[in-house]
Structure 1
Amino acid sequence: MKLALTTSLLALALAQATQAAEVPSTANIVADDTDWGAGLITVTASRLGTLDIGGSVTVLDAQALDRFSYGDVNRILRQVPGVFLQEEDGFGLRPNIGIRGSGTDRSARVAIMEDGVLISPAPYAAPAAYYFPRLARIQGVEVAKGPAAIKYGPSTVGGAINFFSTPLPDGPAGEISGRVDLLAGNYGSQRALGSVGGWAGLGGGLEVGGLIEGLYEHSDGFKTIDAGGETGFKISDMVAKLGLRSTDGAHALTFKYQRYTERSDETYLGLTLADFRTSPNRRYNASAADVMNVSHETFQLTHDWKISDRVRVTTIAYRNDTARSWYKLNDIRNTANTGWTSIAGVLENPAAAPIQFAELVGAEGFTGRAGSLRVRDNNRIYQSTGAQTALSAGFDTGSIAHTLEVSARYHEDSEDRFQQDDRFQMVNGRLVLTTPGAPGSQDNRRGDAKAWAFYVQDTIEAGPLTLVPGLRYETIDLTQTRWALGDAVRATPTAINTSKVDVWIPGLAATLRLADDVRLIAGAHRGFASPAPGSTVAAETSWNYEAGVRFGTEAWRAEVIGFFNDYSNLVGTCTASSGGDCNIGDQFAGGAVEVKGIEATASTVLGNVATQGFEVPVSLVYTYTDARFQTAFASSYAPWGTVAIGDRLPYIPEHQIAVNAGLQLDRLRFDTTLNYVSKARATAGQGGITGLDLIDDRILVDLSAGFDLRPGVSLFGTVSNVFNVAYNASFSPDGARPGAPRMAMGGVKLRF
């Protein structure tokens, strides 16, 4: 099926490229100023539009994404100030993203969307993003911070990231356009991406359009299990769209279907620091059975109605279904054989637990205790469904112009856990099953959320001053239902916990145009993150402020923004990925926290290909952050532990820098990016960072090059981590974990 789709797309692309005298660029397939089909759900989809927007917004368009053709979302988000990334697997399969000091664990404190729809499997009941859009098929990224973030919700503490899939082409009826990327590289990496679409006239003022896109990604993995085994991944991702539009531009109806499947041989088991320094890409034999299987489906119907030049309504109905089973090592039997001990504790001090460490390593000729290794089937099913609508109306009151936006969303989601533990013995480097568990015998519960969200915003333009007051209201009903362990029928619950949250989230942004290319900006808004079903901890809240200056024309841009986030109650959620001896789903209060920092960006293009024969695009992105606890407390939440006033938050580096430069000739292009991340802490603390608390600083360099063989046909190559820098990216959840080594891919790209 994959081979047939790829072959057909390649043949069609070659035929189109041969016949065409002039072939549109990628930017014509997804233009810089397009709204990517998301209508009013987007803050702005234009790079230039971010100059006047209230709040901090960064837009990465198709051209920016195409320069390196990353598959790992972590690499492209290095280009956005104020974004923090806790790397885990080296491929970006399950990113850990934070914004302006929000927690990074599973991106749970960031509103993640695709085409304007919340895309985390259960964004209210269980916001951990165990499914994440693959960047290889994404055509645009919008990152909103500050007051701009309250348009989305439910989480507004950090910000929102909106990913845009390939839209239906915007060309006239009868024109077909598309693309094909065929790339391969080291570690057995392969990528085949193809899309084709167009419009046809129906008569009566109507046109019908269609798009089909397929993505296949594979890697053998860069880690090596001592006794051998799989460490890579395989992903298939298909999107189909069907559109109906009126020729007068008043109505557009789009149906989107997406299906994603993944198998990744990933583990939470890391290394001792000593073993990491010797062989960072090693995996112990106890991780050999670990595997993640994910399936995800999206159904989305979008109607865009342009009532007049100044009045527009966008309505979206959606449903997302996600099933995941991550079968992975969970813990190990204690020395007395009376209970279980954490893997992280063993790896932190292997000399104190020699039996357990030997069972994790599983050397040849070694036989461990029967049933001493517990492997958990983290089997969960998610469902998310809802409808949202947004109305924009422009009007004037005297000399003052208004753009009023009003939106409403009804949303339901759920997370269903039906998990079991199997027990294994290590025998001669191999795992041997000794005691299988019964389905549902480890966890048997369901979390549900039902939410209404309303939002109103008025963009008020009075001469050089633009004010954007906004107000969001969320009312959320949360339910956690538990059944007896092993009860597959679930006839009678053993416990039902309900709670209700009502929250008002105001925001205000101001922009003052001192000149055509100079703007002062300022803003304030309330941050909020919904508590989990069954939680007894108060919701996470904060007041967030920003102020700065923007300079910009079509030729160059610069921006400096200072931000201050004042948390009244920071909340930590126990997940398997956060590590530690806590019950999954429990929440912990972190008290008052202050996060302050500076974000700076600058970019320009030197030269002009048309008049001078070359262009040199250059840019700089810098973030400084100081994030500290203002409350002393003791917690069993592993990333915090015992906290003193002034302790820094974990996994937040003080400095981040990205420097980019390129050279564009008539048919040849080179691009390079240098990324620096300063060291960070693995757990809360202050003073020097050493040993088991040190997340390494690093300088990473990526290169890419493209050569146009003819219009629409290009050779492409890219190398990430050119100097093969080895660094410890994380100690969570269990042991030291490496960042990705040098990776190279090359192949052909076709556009028609």
Structure 2
Amino acid sequence: MPTQTRRSPPDGYYRTTVSSLAIALSAPAVAQETTGPDDGEVRAEQIADERRENPVDSIIVVGGRIDPYRIAGSADLIDSEDLRRFDYGDVNRVLRQVPGINTQEEDGFGLFPNIGLRGSPVERSSNITLMEDGVLIAPAPYAAPAAYYFPAIGRMQAVEVTKGAAAIRYGPRTIGGAVNLRSTDIPADGLAGYAFGQYGSRDYYQGQAWVGGDTDYVGALLETYQQGSDGFKTIDGLPDADTGFERQDYRGRLAVHTAPDAPVEARLEFVYGRSDLEANETYLGLADTDFAAEPYRRYAASQRDAFSGEHDQYRVTGSLAFSDGTRITATLYRNDFARSWSKLQDIDFDGDGSFDSISSVFVNPEDNAGALSILRGADSFEGAVRIRNNNRVYRSEGAQISLERPFEMGGARHNLAVSVRYHEDEEDRLQNEEFYSQIGGDLVFERQTDLGQQANREAKAKAIAFYIEDRIEIGALTLTPGLRYEGIDLTRLDYAGSDPDRSNGPTRVRQTNIDQWLPGLGATYELGDAILLAGVSRGFSPPGPGNPDARAEESWNYEAGVRYRSDKVQVSAIGFYNDYSNLLGNCTQSVGCSVGDIGDQFNGGAVTVKGLELSAAVEPRLSNSVSFPLSLAYTFTDAEFDSSFDSEFFGDVNEGDDLPYIARHQLYVEAGVNMGRAAATVGANYVSELRDNPGSGAVAENERIDDRIVFDIAGSYALTDKFSLFARVDNVLDNQYAVSRRPFGLRPGVPRRIVGGARVSF
């Protein structure tokens, strides 16, 4: 059994981490002995008050909102008020409120988001750290980070985004940053409930309901979230076919805790969640001429494409909060995800027995008219249409513990944060293929291969991560040095296609070890209502298992800017510069990869990403009951390759070429009016043109995704303090626009959608 090993794991890195943790935990205890009793007690009381005001365990929030005086780096919060203004079920529409975020839309509903931060590649959100309630939530964050499961944004109460030096606290992917989704908490006082529902165009529906309560010792919450639609595309020859989706989410939380007046606040909480998604989605897009004539068309060859996913979430969290501000939190977690996405893989267009890539049809459709006609529904050769059953099972589990302790030493205030996480995850592929003949526009089943013949392999990861940070306040200056460690063992096991039960063992084993230290330093300086900030950090994303030539993605990240906050206006301007020594390209079918194996990674060499993030908010008032909130978020991004090379994955790249699918300009503006019980808001989103492949200068028409501006409008009217009506129109002007050429042809954004509904609470 051949085995390829890059490096053997260092025997001492577990001992190093444990020793560092012991030193870190003992440091504040020693330093506390020199603290002045009066100042120390005042500081402890302040932090204890903050904890009581914000009982939710939040990774970056104090008192329920971002506090720029405490965050040494870029941090943004989309709170419940921001989310409720439009009540989107699409995470792409939610995240455009935050500067520095790149998204590539795909299905019009946000089911499979592609999110990048500060110019990091967007494919399947695999280059960011994605969390729910501070716990890694991608199906296999280390072994297979592509996020084919994404939590329903419509059930969240807040979204937190960190970039720059602040992001190394979370990991493992620290170049772009981290997105943390905060789910519904158990109500803090007594019994409470909430229900919201909306219904509209093409049978689109979205609803959330929860009921819960808390006593002196016990709290509980039950919640459900439902979302679906008949879809907005029409399949050739099948006008009544469902191209929509159905999502069902169920959540339960149970907590036991000490009485409110206990000297030590102790809490133990259990969380279980179940999510099911059925979606009649495809990767097949349209040729340019077909898109121009009918953008919401779907070719007949995609009629069998369908996704099915089941996700189970388990979490147990215990915490202790002491009167001096010290807090200890420990979490055990597990996520199980099973998915099957049967979708068109390739076609034997000419009947010679070899299957041809579909992407070649869209490179030059004029020279592939016969092949394009088969996609549209023309008769094929017998068994010429191959559909792959992308059947995969994921497991992600681990334990993390964190300590936060304030103290004073040498006239400076400190807040020490230490965390350790042990994590394991795996992806199991057992895939086969089906063969169809297209006859009269229908796909007729011919045969299928045995399970495992297309792909039969496992990818596994074990990781231990350690982080320490000290926020040091010296008058108007705050310094936040931090250090992260990632020790990762990656293994890929390949099995014979004829051995689905794997009784003969693997035919090949490939192992990789990564041992990485990631320093970071952030600084803020207070000048009245303004704050100057700067930061530098080491960026890192681990390679996946399986490709021994793929190196880790590494960079040095720099940022500097200013924030201003007063009673009337909030403004932020931050410049960033990410200097990659190596960029990784991820081979997924969603980007049309046809080289190597799906899941492989390819080195892209040195890359420079620089840009500017601007945000501003103001709310002029005409009277106590009438105001006009206005906000904007703008991002400028310049992402270029720093070397010339020829790659099977990236193509022919020249120094100075722009990275694909990174918009140079993005702007989001919200303007509203609040008049007592009534409110209305208009949102406008502009995205400049995108290129499908690396390049420079003018973008060729067959590689361009045109710029676009899309308007949404939402309004509400409160009939009582507990009951209100709601309406929203997405894409008010009904613009027809493309969002991607990946992987096979142009795909559209959602057409005009009108929904109405109501919400009630008690």
Give the TM-score, by structure 2 length.
Answer: 0.91
Task: Please list the CA deviations of residues 470-514 of structure 1 after superposition, one character each: whole Å capped at 9, or x if unmatched.
Answer: 000000000000110031220221011111100001100000112
Equivalent residue number for residue 69 of structure 1: 87
Gapped regions of structure 1 (runs ≥ 5)? 1-30, 202-206
Tell whether the 8 Å contact from 1:184 to 1:190 is kept in structure 2 after alignment: yes
The separation in 1 between residues aligned to 2:485 and 2:726, in whole angstroms, is 48
Q: Which amino acid aligns with 1:723?
A: L
Cα root mean square deviation, aligned: 1.5
The separation in 1 between residues aligned to 2:55 and 2:225, in whole angstroms, is 19
1:46 CA drift (Å): 3.7
Task: Please list the CA deviations of residues 438-485 of structure 1 after superposition, one character each: whole Å capped at 9, or x if unmatched.
Answer: 111100000000000000000000001000000000000000001100
Equivalent residue number for residue 440 of structure 2: 428
Equivalent residue number for residue 637 of structure 2: 625
Which of these residues, 179, 187, 191, is aligned with residue 161 of structure 1?
A: 179
Equivalent residue number for residue 604 of structure 1: 618
Matching of residue 183 in structure 1 with residue 198 in structure 2: yes
Equivalent residue number for residue 605 of structure 2: 591
1:662 partner SS: strand
Cα distance 1:188–1:273, how it changes in 2: closer, same or farther (>3 A)?
same
Equivalent residue number for residue 462 of structure 2: 450
1:607 partner SS: coil
Matching of residue 146 in structure 1 with residue 160 in structure 2: no
Equivalent residue number for residue 361 of structure 2: 346
1:240 partner SS: strand
The separation in 2 between residues aligned to 1:679 and 1:278, in whole angstroms, is 21
1:553 CA drift (Å): 2.7
Which of these residues, 319, 324, 336, is aligned with residue 304 of structure 1?
A: 319
The separation in 2 between residues aligned to 1:613 and 1:160, in whole angstroms, is 37
Q: Which amino acid aligns with 2:510?
A: N
1:355 partner SS: helix
Task: Please list the CA deviations of residues 352-394 of structure 1 after superposition, one character each: whole Å capped at 9, or x if unmatched.
Answer: 23332222110xxx42101111100000000000010110010
Cα distance 1:36–1:736, how it changes in 2: closer, same or farther (>3 A)?
farther
Matching of residue 274 in structure 1 with residue 289 in structure 2: yes
Task: Please list the CA deviations of residues 29-50 of structure 1 after superposition, one character each: whole Å capped at 9, or x if unmatched.
Answer: xx999657325x4465743413
1:696 CA drift (Å): 1.5
Equivalent residue number for residue 415 of structure 2: 403
Equivalent residue number for residue 390 of structure 2: 378
Tell whether the 8 Å contact from 1:32 to 1:62 is kept in structure 2 after alignment: no
Cα distance 1:642–1:263, how it changes in 2: closer, same or farther (>3 A)?
same
Matching of residue 556 in structure 1 with residue 574 in structure 2: no
1:534 CA drift (Å): 1.7
Tell whether the 8 Å contact from 2:349 to 2:381 is kept in structure 1 after alignment: no
Tell whether the 8 Å contact from 1:50 to 1:58 is kept in structure 2 after alignment: no
Moved more, 304-313 or 211-220: 304-313
The separation in 2 between residues aligned to 1:378 and 1:421, in whole angstroms, is 9
Tell whether the 8 Å contact from 1:210 to 1:240 is kept in structure 2 after alignment: yes
Equivalent residue number for residue 71 of structure 2: 53
Question: How do residues 126-275 of structure 1 correspond to structure 2 at under 5 angstroms?
Answer: 126-171=144-189, 175-201=190-216, 207-228=217-238, 229-247=241-259, 248=262, 250-275=265-290
Matching of residue 666 in structure 1 with residue 676 in structure 2: yes
Tell whether the 8 Å contact from 2:108 to 2:749 is kept in structure 1 after alignment: yes
Task: Please list the CA deviations of residues 569-627 of structure 1 after superposition, one character each: whole Å capped at 9, or x if unmatched.
Answer: 0010100101032121221111000000000111121117xx53212111111110110
Question: How do residues 463-478 of structure 1 correspond to structure 2 at under 5 angstroms?
Answer: 463-478=475-490
Matching of residue 570 in structure 1 with residue 583 in structure 2: yes
Task: Please list the CA deviations of residues 396-444 of structure 1 after superposition, one character each: whole Å capped at 9, or x if unmatched.
Answer: 0132000001100000000000001111111001001112121111000
Which of these residues, 497, 502, 513, is aligned with residue 490 of structure 1?
A: 502
Q: Which amino acid aligns with 2:572?
A: E
Equivalent residue number for residue 119 of structure 1: 137
Cα distance 1:125–1:44, how it changes in 2: closer, same or farther (>3 A)?
farther
Task: Please list the CA deviations of residues 297-344 of structure 1 after superposition, one character each: whole Å capped at 9, or x if unmatched.
Answer: 000011121023321111111000000000000111153624222111
Q: Which amino acid aligns with 1:584?
A: I
The separation in 2 between residues aligned to 1:168 and 1:332, in whole angstroms, is 52
The separation in 2 between residues aligned to 1:558 and 1:36, in whole angstroms, is 28
1:555 CA drift (Å): 3.7
Tell whether the 8 Å contact from 2:394 to 2:425 is kept in structure 1 after alignment: yes
Cα distance 1:100–1:44, how it changes in 2: closer, same or farther (>3 A)?
farther
1:673 partner SS: strand
Equivalent residue number for residue 109 of structure 2: 91
Cα distance 1:48–1:375, how it changes in 2: closer, same or farther (>3 A)?
closer
Q: Which amino acid aligns with 2:594?
A: D
Matching of residue 37 in structure 1 with residue 56 in structure 2: yes
Tell whether the 8 Å contact from 1:51 to 1:552 is kept in structure 2 after alignment: no
Question: How do residues 581-730 of structure 1 correspond to structure 2 at under 5 angstroms?
Answer: 581-582=594-595, 583-607=597-621, 612-637=624-649, 640-730=650-740
Cα distance 1:255–1:533, how it changes in 2: closer, same or farther (>3 A)?
same
Equivalent residue number for residue 24 of structure 2: none
Which of these residues, 462, 465, 468, is aligned with residue 474 of structure 2?
A: 462
The separation in 2 between residues aligned to 1:36 and 1:359, in whole angstroms, is 59
Equivalent residue number for residue 732 of structure 1: 742
2:72 partner SS: coil
Which of these residues, 114, 123, 130, is aligned with residue 105 of structure 1?
A: 123
Aligned residues: 705
Equivalent residue number for residue 22 of structure 1: none
Task: Please list the CA deviations of residues 231-273 of structure 1 after superposition, one character each: whole Å capped at 9, or x if unmatched.
Answer: 0000000110001111126111111100000100000000001
Structure 1 residue runs of 4 or more that deviate by more than 3 Å after TM superposition? 31-36, 41-46
Equivalent residue number for residue 13 of structure 1: none
The separation in 1 between residues aligned to 2:62 and 2:169, in whole angstroms, is 12
1:591 partner SS: coil
Q: Which amino acid aligns with 1:575?
A: T
Tell whether the 8 Å contact from 1:145 to 1:160 is kept in structure 2 after alignment: yes
Cα distance 1:153–1:45, how it changes in 2: closer, same or farther (>3 A)?
farther
Equivalent residue number for residue 375 of structure 2: 360
Gapped regions of structure 2 (runs ≥ 5)? 1-49
The separation in 1 between residues aligned to 2:222 and 2:688, in whole angstroms, is 42
Equivalent residue number for residue 21 of structure 1: none
Tell whether the 8 Å contact from 1:347 to 1:735 is kept in structure 2 after alignment: yes
Tell whether the 8 Å contact from 2:427 to 2:458 is kept in structure 1 after alignment: yes
Moved more, 225-234 or 405-414: 225-234
Q: Which amino acid aligns with 1:383?
A: R
The separation in 2 between residues aligned to 1:43 and 1:104, in whole angstroms, is 26
The separation in 2 between residues aligned to 1:529 and 1:256, in whole angstroms, is 29
The separation in 2 between residues aligned to 1:550 and 1:358, in whole angstroms, is 56
Which of these residues, 502, 513, 518, is aligned with residue 505 of structure 1?
A: 518
Tell whether the 8 Å contact from 1:180 to 1:750 is kept in structure 2 after alignment: yes
Tell whether the 8 Å contact from 2:66 to 2:75 is kept in structure 1 after alignment: no
Matching of residue 335 in structure 1 with residue 347 in structure 2: no
The separation in 1 between residues aligned to 2:624 and 2:390, in whole angstroms, is 59
Moved more, 465-474 or 427-436: 427-436
Report % sequence identity. 46
1:353 partner SS: helix
1:672 CA drift (Å): 1.1
The separation in 2 between residues aligned to 1:616 and 1:293, in whole angstroms, is 44
Matching of residue 416 in structure 1 with residue 428 in structure 2: yes
Equivalent residue number for residue 389 of structure 1: 401
Tell whether the 8 Å contact from 1:477 to 1:499 is kept in structure 2 after alignment: yes
